[in-house]
Amino acid sequence: MKAARRFCLCALLLLRCGVAPRAQTPSGAPPANQEVTLPRIVLMDGTPLKLELTQDISSATASVGDRVEFDVLHDVKVNGALVIPMGATVWAKVTEAQHKKRMGRGGKLNLVIDTFELADGEKVPLRTVKQVRSGGHVDEVAVGAAISAVVVPFALPAILFSEGEDVTIPEGTDVTAYVNGEQDLDPLGFPRESAEAEAARIEEALTKLKARRSRYMVSFEVKSTPEGAEVWVDGTLMGTTPATFELHSGVHRFQLKKRGFPTWDDTVAVDSATNTGLTAILEKK
């Protein structure tokens, strides 16, 4: 009672002097009028964005201006905020499409991936480039988004060359794009999500991805006699026999190598309906 009476007397004196008493707040609580500062969200230059093509694209059917869809294969988070979710769509644009011509001149196909639109509507510039060689009709590919990229400071077109044939990029092709320049984002546009919400979202994205991949991926079994041979598919070491691999449907070059035996070398059509495996007989030299 004495403490309360003393506080009232002090407040009365302050009011007479034109000074309002300061309201007491719980210990550690910020004043009501103080703004809560959210952590900065800075999407750093060079942040990788792993993508996967969701459709076949061919110089035989593509036209300039066509939009080509890629799926994002992983979350991109900054300071705990989800900036780019797994399963988001990145669009590329066809900038050149030429059908194969006479005299053995192959088709050409140019693609550009230069921006990505975030959930809050802000557009982020991307940069990409790739050069590879394949064992099929396509001799060289310089794609605007790549797995093993030689990064340049601006987006380059993708030019695909073939020798007397049209060029096709198959559905499921993996590519990597990179954020082009540091991007300072608005924290209010990227709220945090609970662990339960994150788990449910990722499970849904993975289900959609698996359903799409089932259209073009084939579980392919490779055996050899004797066993223990290295399996090379299109120039890439995949493992040793016996083994089962997930491969794109289509024609692949298989090489089986084992010390003391000649290399088994053949081109095989991989198809979920007609051919899901092979057995190679290795004969001694």
Query: DSSP per residue over 174-199, as a string?
Result: EEEEEE-S-EEE-GGGS----HHHHH
- Termini Cα distance of the chain: 106
Any idea what DSSP says for residue 29? Answer: P
Find the helix or strand (DSSP H, E) in which 202 lies: helix 195-213
Per CATH, the number for 41-213 is 2.40.128
Pairing of strands 217-225, 277-281: parallel
pTM of the model: 0.61
Q: So what's the pLDDT on residue 18?
A: 53
- Buried residues in 215-236 as b, exposed as e (16+ CB within 10 A): ebbbebebbbeeeebbbbbbee
Pairing of strands 250-257, 264-270: antiparallel
pLDDT tens digits, 203-252: 999 999 988 888 888 899 999 999 999 999 988 899 999 999 988 888 88
- For residue 168, pLDDT beyond 50: yes
Q: Could you tell me the fold of the domain covering 217-281?
A: Immunoglobulin-like (2.60.40)
Domain boundaries, the chain: 41-213, 217-281
Sequence-separated (6 or more) residues with CB below 8 Å from residue 132: 140, 141, 143, 146, 148
- Max avg pLDDT among 17-31, 164-178, 241-255: 241-255
